[in-house]
Amino acid sequence: MAYEKELELALLAVQRAAILTKSVYSSHSKGTLTKTDSSPVTIGDFGAQALIIASIKSAFPNDEVVGEEDADDLRANPDLKNLVWDLVQQAKLSDPAAQDKIGGPIKSADDMLKALDGGASEGGNKGRIWALDPIDGTKGFLRGGQYAVCLALMVDGVPTVGVIGCPNLPVDDKAPLDSKIGTDADDKEGKGVLFGAVKGQGATSRALTDGKLEAPKTITMSPLPDVAQATFCESVEAGHSSHGDQADIARKLGITKASVRMDSQAKYCSIARGAGDLYLRLPTSKTYQEKIWDHAAGVVLVQEAGGEVTDAYGKQLNFGIGRTLKENKGIVAAPKAVHAKVIEVVKEVLSAKKD
Ligand SMILES: Nc1ncnc2c1ncn2[C@@H]1O[C@H](COP(=O)(O)O)[C@@H](O)[C@H]1OP(=O)(O)O
Ligand SMILES: [Mg+2]
């Protein structure tokens, strides 16, 4: 099967990075810090990015990576560098054969910095480029809710392999979705899911473990004969998408169920496995450009589970023009059969706002 090696590498690398993020949450008081550009980040972001890029570069030395982080903060702060270096050395898969497949440990702190800086690709529509978000949904991570380790391989600008690790989603694909799932208040049992998809080959989920890969289960979106019955997902953060516009769209579609708010690409995962139906992300800002690492993996998953993903105007997402989706505004993900109807209503709501 095409991309078999890439999928296995991505699954194992994401699994190891997820182990690292869990150790940051439990042993390092969540590891929060503020980057020199004042955006929030955790020590887990650096460690997870370094591990995943080192794995990619050892298996596929010529591939490029567009990663969210870089090593500038670690170079400027030796204590921080040492802290992340300790984390990276400890994060190992329990199964030696699985660990061997992802290139073993990084040899030195300097190698770790080099790996971290390996995410500086400018992207583009030629060749093989990976898009990596080591911790997507930092706010969710900090509140003990949903976050995701997200990795996609783009081939000639097209997201082709997508893997997402969600340490706080329930393993059961059909567990009811509500905004409290995965919060600290919940039982920790039965949590942690690893999703994978390859273009043209379907989408799967399996329990996220720390060893060998579990057997995959095929996932598909729920059949949604009547869009009024939909459950729609949106960001927790009102600054990331317009809760008001999304509520208007839902009302016009006849949807009466309350939205499910969760952080990160766990939203794409949840609709791909049929636990929810729609993901609406209407822009709050005229200037914000969505980042490719925030969507590439989720898009492959939803497409392969029977869905369609476009921007808010129904335009195809263009992943091949750099590190952002600068030609697109907002995101609408829905089962294929209802996508056009949803876009029609989204356009109505957006054009009414302009008047
Ligand atoms: N104004 C904005 N509009 C849309 N997304 C945003 C905005 N500001 C930040 N983000 C991104 O939203 C993502 C999280 O989305 P969600 O709300 O679905 O969890 C983060 O990767 C974050 O990027 P960053 O990490 O650079 O702040
Ligand atoms: Mg992100």
| Atom of ligand 1 lying closest to residue 140 CA | 19
pLDDT in tens, 19-34: 999 988 876 555 566 5
CA–CA distance, 328 with 41 (Å, rounded to integer): 26
Ligand 1 center to residue 289 CA distance, Å? 10
Nearest 5°: phi and psi at 82?
Answer: -65, -40
pTM given for the model: 0.96
**Residues designated as active site:** 45, 138
Lowest mean pLDDT among 22-36, 127-141, 287-301: 22-36
The percent of residues above 90 in pLDDT, for the chain, comes to 85
- Ion ligand 2: protein residues whose beta carbon lies under 5 Å: 133, 136, 294
Nearest-CA residue for atom 1 of ligand 1: 240
Do 303 and 273 form a contact (C-beta atoms < 8 A)? no
**Helix (H) and strand (E) counts in the chain:** 11, 14
Q: Which atom of ligand 1 is nearest to the CA of 267?
A: 18
Q: Which is higher by pLDDT, 205 or 26?
A: 205
* Ligand that lies nearest to the alpha carbon of residue 330, given by its number in the listed order: 1
pLDDT of residue 179: 54
CB count in 10 Å sphere of residue 177:
23
**What ipTM, to 2 d.p.?**
0.98
Ligand nearest to the CA of 290: 1
Question: In the chain, what is the greatest distance between 2 CA atoms, to the nearest angstrom?
Answer: 62
